[in-house]
Amino acid sequence: MLFPLLLLLGFVPVCELTGRTIQERTRLAPQHMAVESIDMAIQTTVRASLASDPYLALQLHKIKVKVHNRVVYLDGEVEKEEQKQKAEQLARGVEKVRDVVNRLKVTGIEEVSGLFD
Of the two residues 7 and 49, the one the predictor is more confident about is: 49
Secondary structure (3-state) at 7:
helix
Domain that residue 68 falls in: 19-106
Do the beta carbons of residue 101 and residue 73 sit within 8 Å? Answer: yes
Distances (CA, A) of 16 to 5, 13, 21, 25, 34: 20, 9, 10, 12, 21
Q: How far apart are CA 14 and CA 89, in angstroms?
A: 39
Tell me what pLDDT residue 27 has: 57
Neighbouring C-beta atoms of residue 101, cutoff 10 Å: 13
Question: Which CATH number fits the domain that encloses residue 39?
Answer: 3.30.1340.30
Task: Specify if 41 maps to a domain.
Answer: yes
Cα–Cα distance measured from residue 22 to residue 13, given in angstroms and rounded to the nearest whole number:
6
Any domain includes 89: yes
Residue 70 lies in a domain: yes
State how many domains the chain has: 1
Q: Does 86 map to a domain?
A: yes
Judge whether 3 lies within some domain: no
Residue 117 lies in a domain: no
Q: Are 12 and 18 in contact (CB under 8 A)?
A: no
- Flag whether 115 is in a domain: no
pLDDT number for residue 33: 60
Please check whether residue 81 lies inside any domain of the structure.
yes
Residue 12's pLDDT band, with cuts at 50, 70 and 90, is very low
Express each pLDDT in 65-100 by its tens digit: 999 999 999 999 999 999 999 999 999 999 999 999
